[in-house]
């Protein structure tokens, strides 16, 4: 991985903001991801992220923290927060911005336990593929204190397969429709393509149920997105 995402965060943090990140997927054209958005404060966050932060309590793990915006807010509210990311550059940015506990770490390698675990900005993307959902959920379950909670957001992207007449055309032989190839480019460089998973709420809830996890819809967003709360089934 070239870590162009981390490179862009670092450029922004160091005052070298000249370009935004360009993303595209196997089913959509180029889209601009404005770098300032990754440094958003509470007021600039979508409602579902604000809700996740307002319901956070105890010792918190911010998974895939990026520039650390969610961690910073919770820290300011007096919560103990650990922020992890597989991007070394993202972690150095989060640290520079003031996140006290940071580590370059995949969630699969985390071993501590937490009262609240956050996976925000399409948190299911980190699972990459439908076949890996159970593996990640099992790991997350092991990181939960007995009455701990996970907040994860995603989008049901079925609407992206809608034709002009409003019909939905999903090729049922092609695997799960939310499993996309994700392309990132920045300042003329292209990242190695990666897998990125958008998971609809029902599929997430079913996967949770088979693992002894309770999955509740906390809030639906403005565009097929939602916030889910996952807890251990009593
Ligand atoms: C879409 S960004 C979200 C950043 C941040 N949460 C935000 O809302 O601004 C996803 C982040 O997850 C990180 N990531 C991907 N896989 C991960 C894993 N297995 N463990 C921890 N972080 C991961 C990426 O490096 C990236 O910084």
Mutation choice for ligand 1 from 9, 33, 66, CB with most ligand atoms inside 8 A: 66
18 C-beta neighbours (distance < 10 Å), count: 8
Q: Which two tokens stand for residue 209?
A: 């149920």
Distance 85 CA to ligand 1 centre (A): 6
Q: Would you say 103 and 84 are in contact if contact means Cβ atoms under 8 Å apart?
A: yes
- Measured in degrees and rounded to the nearest 5, phi and psi for residue 210 equal -65, -15
Ligand 1 within 6 A of 90 CB?
Answer: yes
**Which stretches of the chain score pLDDT less than 70?**
168, 170, 172-173
**pLDDT confidence of residue 102:** 98
CA distances from 221 to 142, 159, 226 (A): 28, 14, 5
Residues 196, 209: Cα–Cα separation, whole Å: 23
Residues 83, 100: Cα–Cα separation, whole Å: 8
Which candidate, 62, 55, 67, places its Cα nearest to that of 84?
A: 62
Ligand 1 atom at minimal distance to the Cα of residue 3: 25
Residue 144 β-bridge partners: 114
Ligand 1 within 6 A of 46 CB?
Answer: no
Residues 193, 205: Cα–Cα separation, whole Å: 28
pLDDT one-digit tens code per residue, 218-231: 999 889 999 999 99
Please state at what angle helix 88-97 crosses helix 4-13, rounded to 10 degrees: 20
Ligand 1 atom at minimal distance to the Cα of residue 136: 19
Residues 40, 38: Cα–Cα separation, whole Å: 6
Which candidate, 234, 230, 232, places its Cα nearest to that of 218?
A: 230
Q: Whose CA is nearest to atom 4 of ligand 1?
A: 66
Ligand 1 atom at minimal distance to the Cα of residue 85: 22
Q: Which two tokens stand for residue 125?
A: 């993307």
**pLDDT confidence of residue 173:** 67
**pLDDT confidence of residue 53:** 98
pLDDT one-digit tens code per residue, 54-100: 999 999 999 999 999 999 999 999 999 999 999 999 999 999 999 99
85: Cβ contacts below 8 Å, ≥ 6 apart: 64, 65, 66, 91, 94, 104, 105
**pLDDT confidence of residue 136:** 98
Name the 3-class secondary structure at 131: helix
Residues 163, 10: Cα–Cα separation, whole Å: 40
Mutation choice for ligand 1 from 4, 62, 85, 132, CB with most ligand atoms inside 8 A: 85
């Amino acid at each position: 991985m070239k870590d162009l995402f981390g490179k862009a965060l670092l450029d922004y943090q160091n005052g070298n903001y000249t370009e935004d990140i360009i993303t595209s997927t196997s089913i959509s054209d180029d889209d601009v991801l404005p770098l300032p958005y990754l440094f958003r404060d509470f007021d600039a966050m979508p409602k579902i992220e604000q809700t996740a932060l307002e319901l956070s309590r105890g010792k918190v793990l911010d998974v895939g923290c990026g520039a650390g915006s969610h961690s910073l807010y919770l820290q300011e509210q007096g919560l103990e927060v650990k922020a992890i990311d597989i991007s070394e550059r993202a972690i150095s940015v989060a640290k520079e911005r003031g996140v006290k506990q940071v580590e370059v770490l995949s969630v699969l390698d985390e071993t501590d336990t937490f009262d609240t675990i956050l996976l925000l900005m399409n948190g299911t993307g980190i699972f990459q593929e439908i076949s890996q959902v159970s593996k990640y959920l099992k790991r997350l379950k092991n990181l939960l204190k007995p009455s701990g909670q996970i907040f994860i957001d995603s989008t049901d992207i079925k609407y992206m397969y809608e034709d002009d007449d409003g019909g939905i055309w999903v090729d049922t032989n092609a695997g799960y429709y939310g499993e996309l190839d994700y392309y990132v480019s920045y300042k003329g460089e292209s990242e190695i393509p990666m897998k990125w998973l958008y998971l609809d709420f029902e599929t997430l809830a079913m996967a949770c149920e088979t693992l002894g996890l309770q999955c509740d819809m906390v809030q639906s967003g403005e565009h097929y997105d939602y916030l889910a709360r996952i807890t251990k089934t009593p």
